[in-house]
Amino acid sequence: MKVLEGKSVFRDICEGPLFFYRGGEALAERHPVEDKAEELERFARARRIAVMQLGELYDRTMEDVGAANAAIFEIHQMMVEDPEYVASVENMVNTQGVNLEYAIQITGENMSRMFHSMEDAYMRERAQDVRDISQRLLKILTGQKTSKAFRQEFPEEPSIIVADDLMPSETVQLSRHLVLGFLMRRGSTDSHTAILARSMGIPALVCVGQELSEEYDGSRAIVDGYAGILYVEPDAATREAMREKKEQSDRHVAMLHTLKGQENVTRDGRCIKVFANAGSLEDVEAALLNDAGGIGLLRSEILYLGRDSAPDEETQADFYRQVLERMQGREVVIRTMDIGADKKVPYLGLEREANPALGLRAIRLGLQNRELLRTQLRALYRAGIYGKLSIMYPMITSPEEIEKIREIEEEARRELDREGIPFAKNLPTGIMIETPAAALLSDRLAEMVDFFSVGTNDLTQYTLALDRQNGALACFDDPEHRAVMKLIEMAAENARRAGIWIGICGELAADPALTEQFLRMGIDELSVAPASVLSLRQRVRELDLGKK
Ligand code: PEP
Ligand code: MG
């Protein structure tokens, strides 16, 4: 038996086989090279291997699902040997003296952008293909396995998924019934994969370390999300102890479920809203199962991830309508797409950024690409007639951004009016308070919107200058959250003065040690992972704000 420790992001226990996920983008560093001829020889070798792998994939896919699905591998084979692609990579190596991996990566990105900007739909689709072949070549060169990638990316039986770290675009593609738990060798507790594990209500550990090596692929394991421990090939005594612990945990959950239908009211009579965060219809079902009063944050960007092009208006309107209908008149706050930072999409042709968390992200993207935001707003307005919808904007830093948003909202409404399409005309709009700038300007911002919702994940990252993706920085986090709490207090005070409501939808909302402080600040709503709704209700009901 091997015992490893990590940081737990969801308290539950699971047992199953380990499945090593080998997807993920290979990234190349730039460095100068002396022997250019050797680089070009390596390039020729990597192309030969890629063509062979693609040939194998073609044959296997053809056998399994037919020619139409296999055709893509033939196209990729041709692209790997495309004279323009090959010349561009060789040119970079020859003229700039850079390493082959870097030349492949940059060529892939440049050509992908070029394809993306083309009128012809067929050519636009090639943008993803050129990225794929570059990734394949990079993985061959860096020794990562890809030959069986199309089979290996998803487990065939329910498994505990192991990865260095997972991008949100990868996580959303994993079918839920196949995931028993997550183990990240790196990762951090506020990363989106951690958030997703919480929203799925499954045990997950981050920062497990490199000792969890691929030699354990397929081994049976138990994840104890209470203690943050992983047991690989557990012995009989450990299995028995874990079985008992799991039974205890299930009894606790059953007890929490007796609180369904009860109010979120403190002993001295203060009532607050406890809502759920969601990203999919499965999350919405989980929110209902856990008796959430509404959806306090629907991360709409999830709909944009793991696909080849942005979801069109129809697709979006249909998804939002389904969410609203399922929630049967309860409040639903949909946040406009928070794309960027770690939530990358290939099809927008965005430039690579040195500091993506400080880059073209969330509302900035919508303000730069107005059509993207307008399409989403049209879909939201159309869906708004099916329930109680509010719209929320992420990453706001100034009143001017809200003025610009108002123009786009107006355009979207005018268009719908002109086209005679029915839509909800007066939806409440709010903003996330997740930058220090928004908290500091919350007096002015409060006069412009109907509500605030504090995103403590980003507010912590930007206030403490602490990359939320980097688990190694956890020791620099402030366990008392002092600076962040001051900013929340400021926003809460300004919300109260302006007569608007304020909620918290970041991960701190679920921390029972902070609930009393939040309520004393005047927070009206807490929105948490569906599986945390009832434990938060229990916490609220045991508080007495009349004391002290
Ligand atoms: C936050 O930043 O706290 C938040 C809720 O948004 P996200 O985690 O999606 O960035
Ligand atoms: Mg955020």
Question: Could you read off the pLDDT of 20-65 as tens digits, one per residue?
Answer: 887 655 667 788 999 999 999 999 999 999 999 888 878 876 775 5
Within 54-170, strands assigned E span 159-163
* Closest C-alpha to 130, from 143, 144, 117: 117
Distance between the two ends of the chain, CA-based, in angstroms?
A: 50
pLDDT at 165 over 60: yes
If one residue of 167, 457, 487, 507 were mutated to test the ligand 1 pocket, choosing by the most ligand atoms within 8 A of its CB, it would be 457
Residues pairing with 3 in the sheet: 231
Residue 61, pLDDT score:
66
Residue 148, pLDDT score:
36
Within 6 Å (CB) of ligand 1, which residues are found? 195, 297, 299, 338, 434, 455-458, 505-506
459 CA to middle of ligand 1, Å?
8
Residue 144, pLDDT score:
56
The residue out of 78, 110, 143 marking a domain boundary is 143
Q: Going by C-beta distance under 8 Å and a sequence separation of 6 or more, which residues neighbour residue 59?
A: 70
Q: Which atom of ligand 1 is nearest to the CA of 299?
A: 9
pLDDT at 18 over 70: yes
Ligand in nearest proximity to the CA of 277 = 1
Q: Which atom of ligand 1 is nearest to the CA of 192?
A: 8
Q: Which atom of ligand 1 is nearest to the CA of 297?
A: 5
Q: Are 406 and 519 within one domain? A: yes
The residue out of 185, 218, 249 marking a domain boundary is 249
pLDDT at 506 over 50: yes
Q: Residue 328 has which token pair?
A: 């049967």
Count of structural domains, the chain: 3
Give the HSE-up count for residue 465: Cα atoms under 13 Å, Cβ half-sphere: 0
Q: Does residue 32 sit in helix, strand or coil?
A: strand
529 neighbors 296 (Cβ within 8 angstroms): no
104 neighbors 131 (Cβ within 8 angstroms): no
Residue 147's pLDDT band (boundaries 50, 70, 90)? very low
Tell me which residue has its CA closest to atom 4 in ligand 1: 455
If one residue of 300, 458, 504 were mutated to test the ligand 1 pocket, choosing by the most ligand atoms within 8 A of its CB, it would be 458
- Give domain status of residue 376, yes or no: yes
120 CA to middle of ligand 2, Å?
35
If one residue of 302, 431, 434 were mutated to test the ligand 1 pocket, choosing by the most ligand atoms within 8 A of its CB, it would be 434
Q: Which atom of ligand 1 is nearest to the CA of 458?
A: 2
d(CA 36, CA 100): 9
275 neighbors 296 (Cβ within 8 angstroms): yes
520 CA to middle of ligand 2, Å?
24
Give the HSE-up count for residue 458: Cα atoms under 13 Å, Cβ half-sphere: 26
Q: Are 71 and 174 within one domain? A: no
Q: What angle do CA 7, 12, 17 make, to 5 degrees?
A: 85
CA distances from 214 to 153, 165, 248, 396, 418 (A): 14, 14, 32, 42, 59
**Neighbouring C-beta atoms of residue 310, cutoff 10 Å:** 20
Q: Are 277 and 199 within one domain? A: no
504 CA to middle of ligand 1, Å?
10
Q: Are 270 and 355 within one domain? A: yes
Name the percent of the chain in helix, strand, coil, to the closest 5: 50, 15, 35
pLDDT one-digit tens code per residue, 483-504: 999 999 999 999 999 999 999 9
- Give domain status of residue 547, yes or no: no
Lowest mean pLDDT among 112-116, 355-359, 395-399: 112-116
- Give domain status of residue 255, yes or no: no
pLDDT at 151 over 80: no
Angle between helix axes 456-463 and 482-498 (nearest 10 degrees) is 120
457 neighbors 475 (Cβ within 8 angstroms): no
Q: Are 368 and 509 within one domain? A: yes
254 neighbors 534 (Cβ within 8 angstroms): no
CA distances from 461 to 53, 242, 342, 468 (A): 42, 35, 13, 6
Q: Are 177 and 297 within one domain? A: no
- The DSSP H or E segment spanning 378 is helix 370-383
d(CA 475, CA 275): 30
Q: How many helices (H) and strands (E) does the chain have?
A: 20, 16
254 CA to middle of ligand 2, Å?
32
pLDDT at 404 over 90: yes
Angle between helix axes 313-326 and 281-289 (nearest 10 degrees) is 10
User: For residue 471, what is the domain's CATH number?
Assistant: 3.20.20.60
434 CA to middle of ligand 1, Å?
8
Residue 173, pLDDT score:
64
Angle between helix axes 83-91 and 36-65 (nearest 10 degrees) is 150
Q: What angle do CA 329, 330, 334 make, to 5 degrees?
A: 105
Q: Going by C-beta distance under 8 Å and a sequence separation of 6 or more, which residues neighbour residue 43?
A: 86, 89, 90, 93, 100, 104, 137
Q: Going by C-beta distance under 8 Å and a sequence separation of 6 or more, which residues neighbour residue 290?
A: 260, 276, 530, 531, 533, 534
Tell me which residue has its CA closest to atom 8 in ligand 1: 457
297 CA to middle of ligand 2, Å?
10
User: For residue 11, what is the domain's CATH number?
Assistant: 3.50.30.10
Q: Are 370 and 328 within one domain? A: yes
Angle between helix axes 100-116 and 121-141 (nearest 10 degrees) is 170
Q: Are 127 and 245 within one domain? A: no
Residue 65, pLDDT score:
57
Q: Are 172 and 136 within one domain? A: no
Give the HSE-up count for residue 102: Cα atoms under 13 Å, Cβ half-sphere: 13
What DSSP state is assigned to residue 385?
Answer: G
The residue out of 111, 143, 175 marking a domain boundary is 143
Considering the chain, what is the average pLDDT of its residues?
Answer: 91
Q: Going by C-beta distance under 8 Å and a sequence separation of 6 or more, which residues neighbour residue 328?
A: 387
Q: Which atom of ligand 1 is nearest to the CA of 505?
A: 5
Ligand in nearest proximity to the CA of 508 = 1
Average the pLDDT over 83-101 and give the result. Answer: 95
Q: Are 322 and 176 within one domain? A: no
- The DSSP H or E segment spanning 538 is helix 533-542
Torsion, Cα of 510, 513, 514, 515 (10° steps): 70
Residue 146, pLDDT score:
40
If one residue of 167, 275, 299 were mutated to test the ligand 1 pocket, choosing by the most ligand atoms within 8 A of its CB, it would be 299
* Closest C-alpha to 90, from 53, 39, 157: 39
What DSSP state is assigned to residue 345?
Answer: -
Look at strands 13-20 and 388-393 and give their pairing. unpaired
- Give domain status of residue 511, yes or no: yes
- Give domain status of residue 430, yes or no: yes
d(CA 141, CA 542): 58
Tell me which residue has its CA closest to atom 10 in ligand 1: 458
Q: What is the pTM of this model?
A: 0.78
Tell me which residue has its CA closest to atom 9 in ligand 1: 299
User: For residue 104, what is the domain's CATH number?
Assistant: 1.10.274.10
Tell me which residue has its CA closest to atom 1 in ligand 1: 455
Q: Which atom of ligand 1 is nearest to the CA of 506?
A: 3
User: Catalytic residues, which ones?
Assistant: 192, 505
* Closest C-alpha to 17, from 150, 164, 158: 158
434 CA to middle of ligand 2, Å?
6
Q: Which domain holds residue 292?
A: 260-542
Q: Residue 333 has which token pair?
A: 């706050």
Q: Are 508 and 372 within one domain? A: yes
Q: Are 348 and 243 within one domain? A: no
